[in-house]
Copies of this chain bind each other. A is one copy, B any other.
């Protein structure tokens, strides 16, 4: 499986990943090698990773899994531990886990002594096809996702599709939502293949999603223009995700589950405002509802979710800008949406 070249680093898959990691560690004389895991990757991924690495690990940092631990207090604990275990500027941090581990571990590494090397090994489908590319690192601020962070590149990203076998199926489906998004915003053929084929955990599908996202990121590393298209489904999706996380009466949604709802809602907005054909809208709703359960929202929920919109990182000057679809495979950015359409979009989702 061919590697994908991003800015200053490459994404390697499978056997190539193993070779690349060994070569890198042998070449750079790191003073310390640290690994960050959560209780799941410690149990399911760390043993085979250690065997593969075949190099001493100075310390393994373990954090609790889950978005609710992706905050600055966990970082503070990790910074202290890095200090206590004599981490210095020539140390390496290997982040072995899903998006929480790679986002937070990347941030901790990027800010410890003004930046040490890190390598991301995403272990969920979502983090393989999304968080692995683009150099976004960070943590949440209360209910506000990824409010604190920097853009900084890892030394390399290593993707081992066999880790997916250790995942809860719900986790795998969550990643599928991002892959479908890649098709929707820039590759209609990929959307067609993905939605009918079903073998989305194959290395070839993962690689295509990585390559698509990489194309976007390379053209616009700091999110001034094109990169915004990656936010399709995310403007409302993030607000929904935050709301459900904070609200004890709501089932917590995985990221992919939240943006699946977001993509149906923003698909509706696309139909209303940007001429996305009705048939395409129906197709989008149909595909997502085939894989993702319908989420119940009452009017109070919707009002609270819309309140959260204004905190989205991508907003400026108080306006909420949306990425919408003109057609499947073609996205447009910076679309302002009248408030009443949000309610109509939720009504369409609940129909």
Contacts and interface: CB of A to CB of B under 8 A. Distances in A.
A74 B236 CA distance: 31
Interface in A287-336: 310-311, 313-318
Tell me how many chains of this kind the complex includes.
2
Interface stretch (A146-154, A238-246, A247-255, A264-272): A146-154
Given A86-B318, A150-B150, A80 B313 contact: no
A72 interface: yes
A76 interface: yes
A114 B136 contact: yes
Interface residues of A, number: 37
Interface string A141-168: 1101011111110000000000000000
B83 A147 contact: yes
A277 interface: no
A310 B86 contact: yes
Given A76-B72, A316-B89, A311 B83 contact: yes
A88 interface: yes
Contact of A315 (B88, B136, B138): B88
Contacts of A80: 141-142
A31 interface: yes
Contacts of A314: 89
Contacts of A316: 31, 88-90
Contact of A138 (B90, B114, B142): B114
Interface of A: 31, 72, 75-76, 79-80, 83, 86, 88-90, 110-115, 136, 138, 141-142, 144, 146-152, 310-311, 313-318
Return the 4 tightest CB-CB contacts between A and B, nearest first. A90-B316, A31-B317, A113-B313, A88-B316
